Structure 1
């Protein structure tokens, strides 16, 4: 969400610059002058006069007019504001202040405090609109300590029904409680009244009849280095669409288009001595087909001639990789083009370097890409026959195992607005979908030419379909766990981009997971059970001295809440402490090394060993952790182990210093000096085991260190 907002703001600011000579014309065309826009921004946002350089520009985008105002200072930072030139509303705000202080990993202020600031800000800049919104907590607060801000999204409510396309977004800095950014997306649309609509029960019947759950195979991966995919049986939503609450019809866009894949790049050569792994790659490469053979395969497989006028620009051999969650095959990627009479033409293709199978191609150019003013001359059925005749020729065995999947199930004819129309074929085994084995063909409705082709096919052992839950049981699970409610959605006419969308009142299913056909569990794309995030954290931490620290670590994603209890007074196992410590030092989206085992703890140990937090010989997952051992892990995680090993430079004043091993003196001196681990009554107690409550408190203090 945050990434989307940033892009949207950037587009508004950068879309069109108008020279000062034209600003006078803009003033005449807008209800709000530049002077008024500046006054509105300064009054609402409290922007001062001194110390800033000011510049402005005007732009028009999507039939709306905007003043973009910018205040810049080398010492104070930057402030950017967008004001609607017709309504005077502030539609975006961004503030950046230079600071010498590193961002704190532990928030200085709570999410609740930040939300109060966000609400007060909106009530100041758009009080009338804020009254028409409701907070959407499902998209809010990526509260990892790697983000400096809390974010809040408030969706528009019309007639008591959500309209998610219109919303107000605010981000608040965790360390300063200052608003970092604000974005308003609000439109003057006409909304149908929620009268004479079908019931939710009727909508569910339509969903089951026209869309519904499908029994299908799904590929999952163990996230293990070099692992092979595994197929599982699931019930999933293969096709989804809003259901018009007035008519009961599906709302399916006619502009469905799936682009084909292409390739390109450069080549390199090395004469240095090869490592064993490099030599292995070279040996494997000798098993692959040559570039000339790959080119021959492409030319023999294309449904059109690739003449001599096309020049080969790029030819790359990608030898594959074994990085989870997928293995890639060795692939030749080829790209040709030519230019003539101010027109361009190109063809890209990929060929499996091991089997010689054409995996994809895409053809384009001035004539094919530019459809303005053209009228389709081929019907959907005519194009479908062209696609299937080609598949019978190029992949007959695989094509015979597939069925055509028509996304536009209610449309007998299409009204394409794209250069080509996509036909999709999915493998069916014993009446069950294999959506990972799929073939696409793109056909031009203007020329009848095949312009694109792509095949993804994985040979994998399929599980038995015996002893699975029934479709009725799957539906019961689905509607007990998924939202299926009324909402307003915009329906755009992409053939008339300047025309405002029609707003439809719809029933829409929000469900992006699967139902395990064997167990009935809700699972994610990787086959793992989906754990509902509870409002509370653990049942057994209320009143515990470390309650605040435990809740904080839950909030920022270091402690899992899969269990009902945390057991704060139990001693912590090494594997749990290592897992929490690793999660504390690296973002959850960054994997420095691929996991070598499906065991979750092995993954965290691999990272800890790589980062020299713990040595391989010290790995004892189910043992308890002493305070002395914890000190070593923490200092190593800080990257200060090499300093701690200089034991002679440290003096320890604890009364039980004689019980601290000489090799750990530096580590304990550092953690106590940084107040990460504290003693009691002058004692450090190096041999005592660390409790789970103490582990949480120690990790919070660890994260408060500005490294």
Structure 2
């Protein structure tokens, strides 16, 4: 497939079909979303006024490609071809030539728009399309004019027009690109994918993908397709139930300690059960190997059966002390000359703790010549060395065999780690590697051996810790040492967790089983098929000859696990068996909450929006629309609306107690803490007397002020003489300007000419007000002044 090296974000101006629905010029004017500029293709004499012929041998000439491009996507005549390039893409059974064409539209020598088109140079098929238009006056509307279902029809009509031979070979993929949460902004791109169907089975690596915006414009088009693949018909394949049984039997859930991204309070490890997606052969049921490291590669025994020393005590190293500590741990050659040092401190926002480190550098000299370097980082508060690097060119011949064997290097690496991290030697495990990649009889030159170690606490991997070591294959010296061990506290014994079988059952509710094809490369060497492992060894050894190696690709039928499309990253708590949010650490669920008491309600759509973003809670399936909204709920609605639905991130260092929070009644463990603190930071609320009263009820006047603050008009509201305030009950109000703004913008309404400032707001009324706030915010977006 042609690759647009500076890939454009698409902004195609069309509604359903470019070639028939509107005049060509109209499409250029209707495109709205700015994009990254496309690659400047190779220079083209014809495009710049010359007449040189392009010296390439393809069925579709450059001139024909330009003509086809202008026909297929109705490129306006004012768009001139600025660049054209020809490239070849490797397919499973050969190669394909493709044209990349860049068209630009300039006004006063300034680029106002550009269109990129990729075409098959053998048959003229449209492969890629995207466009950019500099239109600062365009702005999206909210709610969306075109929702995903309508965008799907627009996309299918477009691909039927530009790729009619493929339209009956694809099927819409409802999962791909689906937004799990309704949008809170009109700037939405519907990403739609149509998978290739072969033998009634989706081949998900071949597809047609399009982007359609909320105005109904096709923004981009991409045909990812390989017609040279041979697909097998596996009549004896496993049934879906048999495949699921095999997947369950081969699943390997792994205990891991993780850190939630933005959990409230100090960062703290949480024990989880992780189970990555994998695939099995659809005929044999055996696991398909993907080449990644899996738990089976980790040694079953730690480096030691007990700690080999005490954890480091508190110190405060000077530069000289730090230097002595590094040289005692990793001796340097006599030609090492100390070069420089630096000291730095850093406060971890997540813990509030300050770390201090020395960075030390040496130069390795041969007379006046520099022949290498060395460096180290050491924690000045603990004396723990976190990294060390040393390299000196030794003039080793390229074809010489290493003086140090793999086993000898492994022993040196293990010994170094035990020496540097003795207090956790019983928690460090060596990752086992395929030793054939270091076979001196097959590999032409071995410079270093590389080793990795994982940190396990009572059998659970700390995914955020790692230790890496490299050993010089000729001198046996430690060349590189890097250790990241976080100082978290763990339970002395393994906590009670759910069983692996229970973990698998939970994960199988997260994954779905999909039957699809998987491409497998085949290698033939000297007339004989060879496995991929041998191919890699021969390649590394430099023994492969182009004339002796033949490659082809076949499709293998597999069953694979496919994760759910969720609006948040989740993990499985190993102790409780609950699904929890990776972001907050809070309990969550795979299924979206759904309220049963709002069907047919006058504010159903707006309430569903608030429920989807968890601004309103659902208890026993009910959202209770007529209950009075609380201050905490209202602030959460407002902050989510202003943040496009994302939870706010506080950068000030998480608090552990309520006393360090801004309000004495909204501590760091309160469900509204991050929203209230964010609202305070954005000047949406004031500190007042230090109490927020999150469970307090909200009246209409307070809600009006919050909305006006969010719009940025609160200072303007103080000039009451600017507004026509004719509320019957204006005399009862303190915030007349704010009320006038929200009524004038139709965010809130009057009742018989009264604003009713003291009337408490229901959850339904608050949901409607914030939906209208989103609409108004989109309408009030102002285009920048232009020169």
User: TM-score, structure 1 length as denominator?
Assistant: 0.79
Structure 2 partner of 1:683: 754
Cα distance change of structure 1 residues 589 and 574 upon mapping to structure 2, 3 Å threshold: closer
1:249, 1:306 → 2: CA distance? 56
Q: Which residue of 2 aligns with 1:77?
A: 113
Alpha-carbon deviation of 1:696? 1.8
- 1-side partners of 2:289 and 2:354: how far apart? 34
The count of corresponding residues between Structure 1 and Structure 2 is: 661
Q: Which runs of 5+ in 1 are unaligned?
A: 258-285
Deviation at 1:481, TM superposition (A): 3.2
In 2: Cα distance, 1:146 partner to 1:139 partner: 17
Q: How far, CA to CA, are the matches of 1:673 and 1:397 in structure 2? A: 68
Deviation at 1:83, TM superposition (A): 1.9
1:523 aligns with 2:580: yes
Separation (CA, whole Å) in 2 of partners of 1:668 and 1:366: 76
Write out per-residue CA displacement over residues 321-371 of structure 1, whole angstroms, 9 at most, x where no aligned residue: 333499784444567789999999666643324223221345679999x99
Q: Does the CA contact (< 8 Å) of 1:95 and 1:179 recur in 2?
A: no
Aligned counterpart, 2:436: 413
Q: CA deviation at 1:628?
A: 0.7
- In structure 2, relative to structure 1, the CA distance for the partners of 1:699 and 1:228 (3 Å cut) is closer
Change (3 A) 1:558 1:395: closer
Q: List aligned pairs for 1:112-127, cutoff 5 A.
A: 112-127=149-164
Conserved in 2, the CA contact under 8 Å of 1:223 and 1:324? no
Whole-angstrom distance in 1 between the partners of 2:581 and 2:562: 14
Alignment of 1:244-643 (within 5 A): 244-246=281-283, 249-252=286-289, 289-290=317-318, 293-294=321-322, 297-302=325-330, 305=333, 307-308=335-336, 317-324=343-350, 329-333=355-359, 349-361=376-388, 381=407, 383-406=409-432, 411=434, 413-414=436-437, 422-442=450-470, 450-457=478-485, 458-462=487-491, 465=494, 467-490=496-519, 503-510=555-562, 513-525=570-582, 527-534=585-592, 537-551=594-608, 557=613, 559=615, 564-587=621-644, 588=646, 591=649, 593-594=651-652, 596=655, 597-617=668-688, 619-643=692-716
Are the counterparts in 2 of residues 244 and 250 from structure 1 also a CA contact under 8 Å? yes
Say yes or no: does 1:150 pair with 2:223.
Answer: no
Q: Using the alignment, how far apart are the partners of 1:440 and 1:398 within structure 2?
A: 15
Distance 2:250 2:334 in 1: 43
Whether 1:645 and 2:703 are equivalent positions in the alignment is no
Q: Deviations over 1:142-165 (max 9, x none)?
A: 745274422223344444444433
Post-superposition offset of 1:304: 6.5
Q: Which residue, 70, 74, 77 being the options, matches 1:42? A: 70
Query: Per-residue CA shift, 1:13-66, capped at 9, x if unaligned?
Result: 97784333799786633232222222332222222213x232122142654533
Relative to structure 2, which stretch is displaced further, 686-695 or 294-303? 294-303
Change (3 A) 1:58 1:703: same
1:233 matched to which residue of 2? Answer: 271
SS where residue 695 of structure 1 aligns? helix
Match of 2:218 in 1: 179
- Specify whether residues 41 and 321 from structure 1 end up closer, same or farther in structure 2 by C-alpha distance, changes over 3 A only: farther
Moved more, 113-122 or 588-597: 588-597
Counterparts of 2:466 and 2:266 in 1: how far apart (Å)? 19
- Counterpart contact for 1:487–1:506, Cα < 8 Å: yes
Bigger shift: 333-342 or 103-112? 333-342
CA distance in 1: counterparts of 2:115 and 2:232, whole angstroms: 39
1:168 paired residue number? 208
1:201-240 to structure 2, matched below 5 A, reads 212-220=252-260, 223-224=263-264, 227-237=265-275
- List alignment gaps of at least 5 residues for structure 2: 11-35, 91-95, 295-313, 522-531, 541-545, 564-568, 656-667, 782-787
Superposed CA offset, 1:376-407 (max 9, x none): 9987655533422332333334333322234x
Deviation of residue 178 (structure 1)? 0.6
Query: Cα 1:164–1:287, aligned 2, differ >3 Å: closer, same or farther?
Result: farther
For 1:161 and 1:444, the matched residues in 2 are separated by 50
- Going from structure 1 to structure 2, the CA distance change for 1:198 and 1:349 (only over 3 Å counts) comes to farther
- State the match for 2:29 in structure 1: none
**Contact 1:118–1:170 under 8 Å retained in 2:** yes
The match for 2:525 is none
* Aligned equivalents of 1:624, 1:614: Cα separation in 2: 16
Shift in CA distance, 95/8, structure 1 to aligned 2, threshold 3 Å: closer
